[in-house]
Structure formats: C-alpha cells, structure tokens
Amino acid sequence: MCLARRVTGAPRTDHGVVVELRVWHVDSIVQAVRRVAGDRRRLRTLPGLLFAKSLGTGSGRTFTMRDADPHRWALLTVWQDGDAAADGANAEVLQSWAANSDEELRVTMRPLTSRGAWSRTDPFGAGRAADRNTWSGPVAAITRARLRPTRMLSFWRAVPPVADALTDASGLRLAVGIGESPIGLQGTFSLWDSTDSLTSFAYRSPAHVSAVRRTKPARWYAEELFARLAVTDVVGTYQGRTP
C-alpha cells in the first residue's frame, strides 16, 4: 500500500451545503473500532455539521459479512457551507483518522437530488442544487437501506447480478459498499464520469432494472435513500489510485 498524499483541508465554496465522504485505510482494526465508538460524541460538537455517519466499508458484492474490509473505514459528513467544511477538516476527530491511516480519499460534493430517508431524516434535502438539471461534471450516487430482517435472504440473492453489472458499467470510476453495520444497514457509494453514465446504468442495465422493479413487491427495505450529488473535488487515493 502506498502512502497517500495527506488530505489537510476542504475547498471553500459559495454553493451552500457541502457533502464529504472520507475513506481511510488503517493497520489497526482494534484502534479503528474504538475510534468509531467515540466519534459520535466528538462529531456532535463540530460547528456547522448537519449530519454525520461513521461507516464500515466493503466490496458490495454480496452485502454480507464476506464483503467487509476491516482495514477501510469511512465518514460521511454534511456541512452547512464550505467554510464549515474547511474548518471541520482541522478538527481533532478527523485529524486523528488521518494521522493513523496510510491512505485517505476525500470526495467533496453538493446534493443534486435525493429521495427517501436515512435514520428518519433526509440529510441532503436542504442542500439540493439549483443547477441539478444542468450539471455536466462527474457525479456520485449514495444509496442506503435498512433491510427488513425477514427479507434479508431474498435481498442477498438479488445482489450478485447487480454487482456483476456494476463492475462492467461504462463511466464508473469507483464503487464501494458502505454501512453502519455489516448486516442490515447497508449501502453503496459510486463515482461516475457523468449523469449520463449513472443514468445509463440505473435505467438500462437489465440486472439493475429487474432489482428496482422487485424492490416494492419484495418489501426488502424498512427505510431507503437514494441521492445523486455533483462531485466538486477528489483528493487522495483509494487502493493506490485517484478515481
């Protein structure tokens, strides 16, 4: 694993709400678990932070324990503006992760569209951009679901064909499984060349279209969220490369 260039700050912007996803690679799993356990209290004190979730990561191939990568951890944050994001980058809770990791990726975004809920709230709704129909740059998609315990097996059987199709999707730069728990609270983060690339996969991939059509009758989710975000900055590396 190469030593990544340190991510020391966030770009300031005049576009309102700023969303950031940080992914760290760490050697000590025990220290990472302890850090996650204490992050909630520390994050709560940061000025201008509207929403935050500490997340485990994985391949997203099956959304079971087999996917989990215990050496990679993520933090999703939503800030009221670019100044709050830039100031928050210097907070001890973020600097501690950076200091104890040998690789870090930070993706900075602003919301374009979102629907659904995450922990009974829409973390991106207040910040949807006015130019959501004209944005021509790279985009990210965040999905998150709370699975119904009685429907997990049905959901897991439906995942592999979609994961296979995603691997070969045109315009995909990065796809990572994310979740607050390896079982039951799961999602994905994907980074795309453009809205057209994302839309083509979402609406033209037979495997994905089939899964979407099954979602409601199969009653997989007790709660779900999908968001599309404009990617304004990508710094650092993931598995040795900048997506």
Q: What is the pLDDT of residues 206-231, one digit of tens each?
A: 877 787 888 888 888 899 999 999 99
73 in a structural domain: yes
11 in a structural domain: no
Question: What residues form DSSP beta bridges with 145?
Answer: 186, 224
pLDDT at 128 over 70: no
241 in a structural domain: no
214 in a structural domain: yes
pLDDT at residue number 156:
76
Average pLDDT over residues 116-129: 83
pLDDT at 7 over 70: no
pLDDT at residue number 204:
78
CATH for 83: 3.30.70.100
What is the domain count for the chain? 1
The runs of H, that is alpha helices, within the chain are: 29-44, 82-88, 92-99, 152-167, 195-204, 206-218
60 in a structural domain: yes
**Which residues, 6+ apart, have CB-to-CB distance to 155 below 8 Å?**
63, 147, 218, 220
pLDDT at residue number 217:
81
Grade residue 8 by pLDDT with cuts at 50, 70 and 90: very low
Express each pLDDT in 164-200 by its tens digit. Answer: 778 888 999 999 999 998 777 888 999 999 999 999 9
pLDDT at 68 over 90: no
9 in a structural domain: no
13 in a structural domain: no
pLDDT at 13 over 50: no
Which range has highest mean pLDDT (118-127, 131-140, 224-233)? Answer: 224-233
The length of the chain, given as a count of residues:
243
Cα–Cα dist 29/18, whole Å:
29
Calculate the average pLDDT of the chain.
87
- Kindly give the pairing relationship between strand 103-116 and strand 185-192: unpaired
Render the burial of 2-34: b for 16+ CB within 10 Å, e for the rest.
eebeebeebeebeebbbbbbbbbbbeeeeebee
pLDDT at 1 over 50: no
3-state SS of the chain: helix, strand, coil percent to 5? Answer: 35, 35, 30
| In the chain, % of residues over pLDDT 70 | 89
8 in a structural domain: no
Grade residue 127 by pLDDT with cuts at 50, 70 and 90: low
Domain of 52, in residue numbers: 18-236
